[in-house]
Structure 1
Amino acid sequence: MKFAAQLVFGLSLAVASPVFAAAPAPAAPLAAPNAAHLKAVQDLLGAMQIEKVVKGVAARSRYPNEAQKQAVLAKLDTIPPAEMYQRLARALTGAISAETAIEMYRFYSTPYGKQLIYRKYNAGAQLIMPGATKAVSPEEKKERKRPAYVKASQELDEAEPVIEHEAFKLVQLINKEKR
Structure 2
Amino acid sequence: MKFAVQAVLGLSLVFAGPAFAAVTAPAAQAALPNPAHVKAVQDLLSVMQLEHGVRGVAARSGYQSAGQRQAVFAKLDKTPPAEIHRRLAPPLARVISADTAIEMTRFYHTPYGKQLIDKKYNSGAQVMMPGMRTAVPAEERKERKRAAYVLASKELADAEPMIQHEAFKLVQLISKEKR
What TM-score do the two structures reach when normalised by structure 1?
0.86
Structure 2 alignment gaps of length 5 or more: none
Given candidates 20, 25, 36, the residue that maps to 2:21 is: 25
Q: What is the match of residue 39 of structure 1?
A: 39
Offset of residue 101 of structure 1: 0.2
Cα 1:99–1:18 shift into 2, 3 Å: farther
Percent of pairs identical after alignment? 63
Per the TM alignment, residue 18 of structure 1 is displaced from its structure 2 partner at its CA by: 9.9
- Structure 1: which 4+ aligned runs deviate by more than 3 Å? 17-21
Q: Shift in Å at residue 130 of structure 1?
A: 3.0
* 1:71 equivalent in structure 2: 71
Secondary structure at 1:25 match in 2: helix
From the two aligned structures, give the one with the greater helix fraction. 2
- TM-score normalised by structure 2 residue count: 0.86
Gaps of 5+ in 1: 1-6
State how far apart, in whole Å, the 2-side matches of 1:18 and 1:132 are: 66
How far 1:124 moved relative to its partner? 1.7
Distance 1:74 1:143, change over 3 A: same
Count of equivalent residues: 169
CA distance, structure 1, for counterparts of residue 93 and residue 167 of structure 2: 14
Equivalence map 1:1-179=2 (5 Å): 20-21=12-13, 22-23=16-17, 24-25=20-21, 27-28=24-25, 29-31=28-30, 32-179=32-179
What is the aligned-residue RMSD (CA, Å)? 2.2
Find the aligned partners of 2:118 and 2:70 in 1 and give their Cα distance: 25
